[in-house]
Amino acid sequence: MSAPQRLAQRAAVALAAGRGGPAPLAASAATAAAGRSSSGSRGVWTEPPKDSESARVDSFYNTTVETYAQLPITQLSLQRLLEGGRSAALDAGYVTANAREVQRELPRRLARRLLDLQLLPHLVVTNPHVNRVYKSYHHAFEVLRQLPPVASPADNASFCVLLRRLVDEHAPMLDSLAAGLREAKARALVGPALQLDGFFDSMLRSRITRRVLAEQHLAVSGGGGGVVDSALSVAGAAEFAGQRAAMLCAEVFGTAPDVRVTGDIAAVLPYIPSHLDYILYEVLKNAMRATVERHAAARLPPVQIRVCAGASALTVRISDQGGGIPEDIAPQVWGYGFTTSDLCPLGSGGGGASSGGSGSGGDGGSGADPGGGGAGVAAAAKGGSNGGGYGVQLAAASEAPRQRYKLAGLGFGLPLSRLYARYFGGELALQNMPGFGVDAYITLRDLEGLRGSWSERDQL
């Protein structure tokens, strides 16, 4: 019997026995979370778990985790997020009901990822960086599953404090996973045999969903319309992404290519600004790095962006003349942890695009989170006309944490960008022309008019 089959069998036994349900609390965990947040002295990453919680983590194959992992989860769609934002403005009870739904969803999704971590090879799961992620996930799982159901605006206020705390404190998780991957793959005998791209796809896809659930609830609780912009200007977002990427490129190399946006400039579609932010910025900064490294500063060819609106989808083509991706590394560019940058703080990423290949394909980028924290590129285009209000947003971006704007290094930027594009049924694809450059095609589906045309499989 395989490991997943054994886990499923044990979970079924646990369900039949009635174990693993939410434990009652003597005091409101949400209120306690609010107190900890205001003090600023404790957190998921710094607060040692209680003895009973440590015992549960150390037991590893925890039947409570298995039980929750077997429970069904609710499909999340762009259309549903749009409707939720509208409902919050019309129905006074919507926010409380949505809080209870988020309470149900998050522990179930965390439990699935805990099982994924348990099934990793021993070399990986015992890595201190990966083990830290496991413990922080388990801590969040225990806190969330034991919360009493939100029943009032006061309960929801405390729940929102906890949600914001968890979103913020889980932000370092991506760096920890990247560090663990890099260290595991560096092992001479075992490292090259590790196949972890499927694991990272599942982990990061679920992470996107959890962040969207949390950010959506925080937005509607604050009186906003949710995380989706119903008429996002794609050309405006691309222009501002180009400005920000050029600022960073000039800071690192002393110069940057121009960015030219053409095509259907007035095109808009419903989308989450932070998702488009991440994709555009990652592809553009890679294209700029490759262009500067290949050409003399006095004659840098521009990076061309063309927006094309179709009947059911919108496509953004980003074209550079950075030399293309060397054919020997082209198959590796979608792998997590692969990078051609020697700027990587976790170790050398190997040669390739930085010495003559296009960064659009070879550089993994920063891998930083697109959600939360403001300073989003696409957020600058939210509700505004092309070119309007970008100065204020540019100033805000310059105040953002520096690690979010690294030019290259972790090897997560490109595969994670594709994951974001695919999340709502889109795609990110590369057309490589060795010796010349790369065309990156970002396809965004207009899902408000295409209900049910994509699969929940991509969000589990």
The pLDDT of residue 98 is 95
Give the 3-state secondary structure of residue 40: coil
333-344 core/surface letters (b: 16 or more CB in 10 A; e: else): bebbbbbbbeeb
242 shares a domain with 217: no
Residues 299 and 328 in one domain: yes
pLDDT value for 193: 84
445: phi then psi, degrees, rounded to nearest 5: -85, 140
What secondary structure letter does DSSP report for 301?
A: P
Smallest CA-to-CA distance from 445 within 209, 264, 234, 260 is with 234
| 273 shares its domain with 169 | no
Q: Are 364 and 412 in contact (CB under 8 A)?
A: yes
Distance CA 211, CA 378 (A): 17
Distance CA 299, CA 261 (A): 19
Whether 269 shows a pLDDT value over 60: the answer reads yes
Beta carbons within 8 Å of 42's beta carbon, 6+ residues apart: 36
Band of residue 32 on the pLDDT scale cut at 50, 70, 90: very low
Residues 165 and 248 in one domain: no
> 21 burial class (0-12, 13-18, 19+ CB within 10 angstroms)?
exposed
Average pLDDT over residues 325-336: 90
| Total domains in the fold of the chain | 2
User: Do both 153 and 256 map to the same domain?
Assistant: no
User: 239 and 260: one domain?
Assistant: yes
Check residues 79 and 4 and name the one with the higher pLDDT.
79
Asked if residues 393 and 240 have their Cβ atoms less than 8 Å apart, the reply is yes
- 135 plus 256 within the same structural domain: no
Residue 257 and residue 392 in one domain: yes
How far is Cα 416 from Cα 284, in angstroms, rounded to an integer? 14
Q: Tell me the CA distances in angstroms from 390 to 134, 220, 228, 409, one per residue in order.
A: 40, 25, 20, 27
pLDDT band at 5 (very low <50, low <70, confident <90, very high): low
Rounded to an integer, the average pLDDT of 189-208 is 89
Length of the chain, please? 460
Q: What is the dihedral of CA 348, 354, 355, 360, to 10 degrees?
A: 140
**Could you tell me the CATH number of the domain that includes residue 299?**
3.30.565.10
Q: Provide the pLDDT confidence category of residue 349 given band limits of 50, 70 and 90.
A: very low
Residue 103 shares a structural domain with residue 187: yes
240 or 359: which carries more pLDDT confidence? 240
Do 214 and 233 fall into the same domain? no
pLDDT value of position 88: 84
Please report how the helices 78-90 and 197-221 are oriented relative to each other, as an axis angle in degrees rounded to 10. Answer: 20
Q: What is the domain extent for residue 269?
A: 229-459
| Domain stops at, among 171, 200, 221 | 221
Banded model confidence at residue 154, pLDDT cuts 50, 70, 90: very high
| Domain's final residue, options 221, 244, 269 | 221
For the segment 160-186, what is each residue's pLDDT rounded down to a tens digit? 999 999 988 888 888 888 889 889 888
Q: Say which residue the tokens 């965004």 belong to.
A: 444
pLDDT at residue 131 in the model? 92
- What's residue 12's pLDDT? 47
Find the mean pLDDT for residues 263-285. 94
Distance CA 285, CA 451 (A): 33
Q: Are residues 233 and 182 part of one domain? A: no
Residue 206 has pLDDT above 90, yes or no: yes
Question: For residue 170, what is the domain's CATH number?
Answer: 1.20.140.20
Residue 75 confidence (pLDDT): 85
The model's confidence at residue 409, banded by pLDDT at 50, 70 and 90, is low
110 and 24 belong to one structural domain? yes
Question: Which residue among 221, 247, 278 closes a domain?
Answer: 221
Phi, psi of 268 (to 5 degrees): -135, 160
